Structure 1
Amino acid sequence: MENYSTTSVSPSKNAIALRYGVIFGIISIVYSLILNITDLAFTNQALSWFSFLILIAAIVLAMREFKRQNNNYMSYGQGLGIGTLVTAVSSALGGIFTYIYVKFIDTGFIDKMREMQVSELEKKGMNDDQIDQAVAMSDKMMTPEMIVVFAILAGLFFGFLLSLIISALIKRTRPEFE
């Protein structure tokens, strides 16, 4: 008579995070495209912040899926890893899209950003010399490549922070003697 063990296999954090990262990446690309085409990205900053709510939903859904597949358990570290990977995948996809969009589709995108920056600086009461100096400094950073780098880094930073918080709220540690 053979003795088979009934050990359960832990779900793959990476597979779950990759799936939700791709889904969120595609959703955020479509949302970003809509904002850019309608010029709402420049005129309504509140709509730009809505993407954070979408990211929060993606992180929460990925963590909940992991817990569901793991007998309703998820450690803080597992949650942090899942949320960070979701963010990394979606930021990479968003970065690729942003590069293609700024470099090939809407070549005037950087000019629109510069105009918005000048408008904001004027609202703050800066004089023309101060504005020219600020624009000259930011022009060094406003290339398609640098926009992508900053978008990915900002996405990773905020995604990591959100993952820290969400993981702390959603975690459910497995008892030591189960």
Structure 2
Amino acid sequence: METISDSQAIQNPRPNVTPVKIALKWGLIAGAVMILLSLISYYAGMMQNAAIQWLSYILLALGIFFGVRHHRDKELGGYISFGRGLGTGVLISLFAGILLSAFILLFYGVIDPGALEELKRLQEEGMYEKGMSDEQIDMSLKFVNPGFMAMVTLPMMTFFGFIISLVIAAILKRNKPLFIEERE
């Protein structure tokens, strides 16, 4: 009777493994951490801080990186194609975007509608500083509502996740060798 050694198990991934489960896990983790960052920035009075916005993209990139790497190393036997890595990363960002969109609807629509008024006030100040007319400001502020913000967040997160995933998939790509030596 033959047994499979650990090195053979690593080289032979489980058949029919899809990235959905791991993408859901890492997407929810990335989304939850981004929500936590959002809450901290809101209660610290730094909602319009550009560094906080960049930090949220870094958190998304980390979620994509760890998710794709986990999928490659634990589920695919240490190998992943560029396309599979890209698809996994986009799925992770999609799930993070869904969670963030739901958070936006809940937070600004139900939990703290006053936060939406504060956001409008900050954006209005910024638009006045840029020299926008009252009509332009009024038109822009019509789009500051939980529904529109949630609707924009999902495609935006998925798009930025796609861009980030292009880089991460290229870094983590590891093609399976054509011929693997058999060990006895």
Compute the TM-score of the two structures, normalised by the length of structure 2. 0.84
Please state if 1:89 is matched with 2:91: no
Contact 2:127 2:137 in 1 (8 A): no
Structure 1 position 112, deviation (Å):
2.0
- Structure 1 residue 52 displacement after superposition: 0.8
The Cα of 1:8 is off from its aligned counterpart by 4.0
* C-alpha RMSD over aligned residues: 2.2
Offset of 1:105 from its aligned partner? 1.8
Residue identity (%): 30
**Counterpart pick for 2:142 among 122, 140, 152:** 140
Question: Alpha carbons of 1:167 and 1:159: their partners in 2 closer, same or farther (altered >3 Å)?
Answer: same
Q: Which residue of 2 aligns with 1:169?
A: 171
Q: Separation in 1 of the partners of 2:174 and 2:13?
A: 18
- Unpaired runs of at least 5, structure 2: 2-8
Equivalent position amino acid for 2:136 in 1: A
Count the aligned residue pairs: 171
Deviation at 1:122, TM superposition (A): 2.9
| Alignment check: 8 A CA contact 1:114 1:135 kept | no
How far apart, CA to CA, are the structure 1 residues paired with 2:31 and 2:53?
A: 15
Runs of at least 5 residues in structure 1 that lack an aligned partner in the other structure: none
TM-score (norm 1): 0.86
CA change 1:110–1:135 in 2 (3 A) is farther
Q: Offset at 1:165? A: 1.4
- Per the alignment, residue 55 of structure 1 pairs with 60
Structure 1 residues 8 and 50: CA distance shift in structure 2, 3 A: closer
Residue number in structure 2 paired with 1:99: 105
Residue 142 of structure 2 corresponds to residue 151 of structure 1: no
CA contact (8 A) 2:89 2:165 kept: yes
